[in-house]
Amino acid sequence: MKFDTPATTNPIDRMKVVGQPVDRIDGKRKTTGTARYAYERNDAAPSAVYGYIVGAAIAKGRIERIDFAEAKAAPGVLAVVTHENAGTVAKAQAHTARMLAGPDVQHFDQAVAIVVASTFEQARAAAKLVRVTYARSAGKFDLAAERSAAVKPKDGKPDTAIGDFAGAFAKAPVKLDQTYTTPDQSHAMMEPHATTAAWTGSKLTLWTSNQMLNWAVRDMSKTLGIPKEDIHVLSPFVGGGFGSKLWIRSDAVMAALASRAIGGKPVKVALTRPQIMNNTTHRPATIQRLRIGARKDGTITAIAHESWSGDLPGGGPETAPNVTRLLYAGANRMTATRLATLDLPEGNAMRAPGEAVGLLALEAAMDELAETLKMDPVQLRIVNDTQVDPESPKRAFSHRDLVGCLRTGAERFGWNKRNPVPGQVREGRWLIGMGMASAFRDNVTMKSGARVGIDKKGVVTVATDMTDIGTGSYTIIGQTAAEMMGVPLDKVIVLLGDSSFPVSSGSGGQWGGNSSTAGVYAACSALRDSVARKLGFDPTDIVFEDGKVKSGNRSVSLAEAAGDAGLSAEDSIEFGDLTKTYAQSTFGAHFVEVAVDSATGEVRVRRMSGAFAAGRILNPKSARSQVIGAMTMGVGAALMEDAVVDKRFGYFVNHDMAEYHVPVHADVPYQDVFFMDETDAKSSPMKAKGVGELGICGVGAAVANAVYNACGVRIREYPLTLDKVIKGMPPVA
């Protein structure tokens, strides 16, 4: 099904099942431990042995020698695989660094070898006996030092310019020119990267934790030089990804090599926490300069956003300025994205790449501008709303209700109680402040397919290689099929995460929910047509409801229609030019109250409230869970997350969950989430948009703005740790 004109009325609009806050249908399996994750596939791959990856001890250089004789002779050891005996291990295009080092080492903890043994303990102990001799060479690890050497990245749109920014900025009566920095961050999802791999002859099966199965097949094919048809990937349950599992990583590649080395027997590999931080990808640090010129009434006349980030040679930038291209009006504007070479582990996508860190800078700058203007920060944003793409005014937004979010959010939060003068509200030792920020994330759509069948009992089964990374895909796909086929949700079976199923959008970039359900919509439409054909019903006058197919005065149960042989249809949704002819984005507004300890500078978030406009909300319960999770992650970005680079050795030092801090329960207060009641017919037949990443966008800036309002300390280097807070506080005695 081609989607190239706005959706009209369709069966989803009935909202009998879609749009209802139903519990996740995979919830029982997850809470009873019967949902099996990649490392737990004893059912499918019994008697697996264990692989343990040896990572590079240097950040850059060459492996001169690997001596694994002692490791090989250790108890239980079955094989040791290195670049010298692995066979073909090519670099897939999606990877910046190779999944197996040798002879060159490209970053610290890049896989150098895998030790395979009968037990996990034997493999781990023997891994310590692999002796690697390196020739270390100097590397670049300091973004600030490499900033001046940064270049235009070859992909994307590194430079944009409309009107005369420099002239307008010079003339603007009110100006802001500030630089903000954001640190490297780690995805820190709950389930580590993990794979069980087995070979049967030339056929490879991977039970792995992955967001995008089609990419996994493609990249494994390229890496090992084997046909795609010989690779079967299963990933029915994923314990979080946040972008770190968009592509196969060393766990999958090394498990496949390890299994091949022992004759195809299943091998399990899970990365350790330290390996997750230095062996895989991370969100790159940025340096961002914001310049905004405005009239005294707050109208922005000039806006510029420049960003510098780094990556390994061949890698890409953090596209922080993208958000500024679309969020606010302003006739004169420019953005610039620059990329430095750094020899740190690969930088790549993490939940809302671009926007998440871009808004940390832009929305803090807007707060500073509002203060200079003596204007309410909400009002400043309303004044600068735009209903068209500011770079190309003929291109309207498909649907944009940022202003509705701002007004609704402000009211729900009680924004009118905020004292605009910092440091004025005190409760004992605590200084109380309120802050806000806009939320913005592009709505991306991806081709997505599914197969839907009905059996003789009237049970509907959906199969698609879509993944559920904790987001609720199982449930909204089930709801979509139930709505389309007119059956209750408990009459739908949803099968996901198998590369033998029709190719879906996969999960990433908040495109999965809308795209994959639209694919199911397409397949259900095809199935409805074939039911109509089989029954001789007029396909333009047909209703699927209560487990029956009705047309005119005829009514046949779905079970009867399917018959003994059942009925099945497969289709995919393909998106046309609507994302080009219209700007498609999701919007929101965050409001946060914090308390700052006037003595110690500790910051505690007391209250969070957000209003969001993201098209039709397919399941308010799972959507809310996505948003509160993202808001929590945004608190982490604002206050604590910081993968610290040791610039001498070139690696992330605080590489475990004790030292790389993410929020714990005690850090997260009551979170109020409100969804605007809207649909976006230009987004898909579901009239939905992405919501999984919107919640993290802007929230960190709202926290930072609240900290400023509480104590008057403006911190432009994230995270806002207490050492930075007390530096700006008055003495206590």
Partner 1 sequence: MKAFTFERAKTASAAAAAAVRTPGAKFIAGGTNLLDLMKLQIETPQHLIDVNGLDLDTIAPTSDGGLRIGALVRNTDLAADARVRKDYGVLSRALVSGASGQLRNKATTAGNLLQRTRCPYFYDTTKPCNKRQPGSGCAAIGGFNRNLAVMGTSDACIATHPSDMAVAMRVLDATVETVNSAGQTRAIPIADFHRLPGTTPHIETALAPGELITAVTLPKPIGGTHIYQKVRDRASYAFALVSVAAVVQPDGRGRLAFGGLAHKPWRVEAAEAQLPKGAKATAAAVLAGARTTSQNAFKLPLIERTIHAVLEEAKA
Residues near partner 1, by CB under 8 A: 57, 75, 121, 124-125, 128, 274, 429, 597, 599-602, 604, 639-640, 644, 646, 648-649, 653-656, 658-659, 661, 663-667, 721-723, 726-727, 732-733
DSSP string, 154-185: SSS--EEEES-HHHHHHH-SEEEEEEEEE--B
Q: Residue 289 — φ and ψ, nearest 5°?
A: -110, 125
Q: Up-side HSE of residue 199: CA atoms within 13 Å toward CB?
A: 16
CB of 129 to partner 1, least distance (A): 10
**Whether 318 contacts 255, CB under 8 Å:** no
| Whole-number Cα distances in Å, 702 to 160, 361, 363, 593, 609 | 27, 11, 8, 9, 10
- 181 vs 721, beta carbon nearer partner 1: 721
Shortest gap between Cβ of 112 and partner 1 (angstroms)? 12
Pair type for strands 670-675 and 603-613: parallel
Residue with Cβ nearer partner 1 (108 or 397): 108
Identify the H or E element spanning 50.
strand 49-55
Least distance to partner 1, CB of residue 227, Å = 38
CB 722, min distance to partner 1, A: 7
Shortest reach from residue 684's CB to partner 1, in Å: 39
- Maximum distance among all alpha carbons in the chain? 88
Tokens (6 digits) for 212:
């995008």
Among 614, 643, 637, 638, CA closest to 627 = 614
Q: For residue 600, which amino acid is it?
A: T
- Pick 157 or 429: Cβ nearer partner 1: 429
Cα–Cα distances (Å) from 224 to 207, 253, 256, 547, in that order, read 17, 8, 9, 48
**What value, to the nearest 5°, has the Cα angle with vertex 686 and ends 683 and 688?**
55
User: Cα–Cα distances in Å, from 337 out to 158, 356, 721?
Assistant: 5, 15, 27
Q: How far is the CB of 238 from partner 1 (least distance, A)?
A: 25
Indicate which residue of 84, 560, 693, 717 is catalytic: 693
Closer CB to partner 1, residue 546 or residue 656? 656
Residues 6+ apart with CB under 8 A from 78: 49, 116, 117, 118, 261, 262
For partner 1, give the closer residue by CB, 452 or 726: 726
| Interatomic CA distance for residues 635 and 663, integer angstroms | 7
Report, in Å, the least distance between residue 268 CB and partner 1: 17
Closer residue to partner 1 in complex, CB, 390/433: 433
Least separation in angstroms between CB 378 and partner 1: 28
Task: Return the SS3 of 219.
Answer: helix
Question: What is the side-by-side strand order in the sheet with 543-545?
Answer: 543-545, 548-551, 554-557
Burial label, 718 (beta-carbon count in 10 A; 0-12, 13-18, 19+): buried
CA separation for the pair 205, 219 (Å, rounded): 14
Cβ closest to partner 1, residue 429 vs residue 580: 429
Tell me the closest approach of the beta carbon of residue 118 to partner 1, in angstroms. 13
Contact 360, 180 (CB under 8 A): yes
Task: Tell the smallest beta-carbon distance from residue 263 to partner 1 (Å).
Answer: 27
Cβ partners under 8 Å of residue 588, min gap 6:
402, 405, 409, 438, 439, 440, 610, 611, 612, 613, 614, 694, 695, 697, 698
SS percent in the chain: helix, strand, coil, step 5: 30, 25, 45
Tell me the pairing of strands 231-234 and 554-557: unpaired
Q: Which is nearer to partner 1, 558 or 703 (CB)?
A: 703
Q: Pick the closer one to partner 1 by CB: 246 or 713.
A: 713
Apex CA 180: angle with CA 179 and CA 185, to 5°?
150
- Catalytic residue flag (residue 70): no
Nearest to 392 by CA among 329, 306, 320: 329
Residues in contact with 666: Cβ distance below 8 Å, sequence separation at least 6, in sequence order: none
SS3 198: strand
Residue 266 or residue 601: which is nearer to partner 1 going by CB?
601
* Tokens at 511, concatenated: 């495109």
Strands, E, within 137-285: which ranges? 159-162, 174-182, 194-200, 203-208, 231-234, 267-270
Of 57 and 556, nearer to partner 1 (C-beta) is 57
Minimal distance, residue 62 CB to partner 1, in Å: 17
Residue that has been written with the tokens 């042995």 in this structure: 49
Cβ pair 692, 512 in contact under 8 A: yes
CA distance 683 to 576: 10
For partner 1, the closer of residues 552 and 730 by Cβ is 730
Task: Identify which of 24, 21, 35 has the alpha carbon closest to the alpha carbon of residue 472.
Answer: 24
Nearer Cβ to partner 1 (12/640): 640
CB of 642 to partner 1, least distance (A): 9
| CB of residue 197 to partner 1, shortest distance in Å | 24
Residues with a known catalytic role: 693
